[in-house]
Amino acid sequence: MTTSRALIIAVDGPAASGKGTIAARLARTYGLPHLDTGLLYRAVGLGVLDAGGDLDDAAAAEAVARSLDVSLLSDETRLTTGEAGEAASRIAGYPGVRAALLKLQQDFAGQAGGAVLDGRDIGTVIAPDAVAKLFVTATPETRATRRWKQLTARGDAIAYEDMLADIVRRDERDAGRGAAPMVQAEDAVLLDTTDLDIEAAFDAARRIVEAARANHGL
């Protein structure tokens, strides 16, 4: 007897690599629910700041993560600021915070029909059995330019050099931490979007997913 496997798609990679847009489009294409797991860490970081807490205080961040107010997740404008990204990256290194957010993410991944999740540790920790795993990347300069355009288009004042420094610092912190560091899973396919526009990047991502589905007889 064969049991059909749910289509779980794991999309990992550094900030502004295009992974979020690719994940959202894959979800639409395959009719799957999508979770941007970075929003969870961003909500925890902002939760600590809103409570007047200190991002260096692991226990305070863990307490916020344990009682995460999911209604915060709908405030996309605030969650996507540079401040929220920086706060997220700082609290994401605490093992207690990661443990507190684990079940929610694994429950999401375990939905009957499958799911698409994007983040840093989806293919390695959250859904190691995912059918398709992508690690989406691009040079720091390309990523900084993309993020800078996004933020300035909506009126946030930030210099390109500061954006690039932020990106490099976050990469180092996310890849260098002891708890679930950002790393390409052994069985993930690398997708470098440096020279690709979003259409070309999405086409490449869909081909990777189609190959993985065929491999799994899905």
SS3 assignment, position 147 = helix
Nearer to ligand DC, 78 or 213 (CB): 78
What residue is closest to ligand DC based on CB? 38
How many Cβ atoms are within 10 Å of 209's Cβ, its own excluded?
Answer: 23
Q: What is the CA radius of gyration of the chain?
A: 17
Name the minimum Å distance from CB 50 to ligand DC. 17
Least Å distance between CB 87 and ligand DC?
9
Report the amino acid identity of residue 193: T
Q: Which is nearer to ligand DC, 38 or 114 (CB)?
A: 38
Give the residue with the Cβ less far from ligand DC, 13 or 114: 13
Q: Report in angstroms how near the CB of residue 1 gets to ligand DC at its nearest.
A: 35
**CB of residue 24 vs ligand DC: minimum separation in angstroms?**
13
**Among the residues of the chain, which ranges form H helices?**
19-30, 38-50, 58-66, 76-79, 82-91, 95-109, 140-153, 160-176, 198-215
Min. distance of Cβ 22 from ligand DC in angstroms?
Answer: 12
Given the complex with ligand DC, which of 81 and 152 has the nearer CB atom?
81
152: Cβ–Cβ under 8 A, 6 or more apart, which residues?
158
Does residue 132 contact residue 188 with C-beta atoms inside 8 Å? no
Quote the distance between the C-alpha of residue 176 and its chain's center. Answer: 16
* Of residues 11 and 209, the one with the C-beta less far from ligand DC: 11
Distance, CA of 93 to CA of 96 (rounded, Å)? 9
CB of 2 to ligand DC, least distance (A): 31
Cα distance between residue 144 and residue 79, in whole Å: 18
Q: Which residues bind ligand DC (CB under 6 A)?
A: 15, 37-38, 41-42, 85, 88-89, 92, 119-121, 170, 174
CB 72 within 8 A of CB 46: yes
- Residue closer to ligand DC by CB (options 176, 210) is 176
Cα-to-chain-centroid distance, residue 98: 13
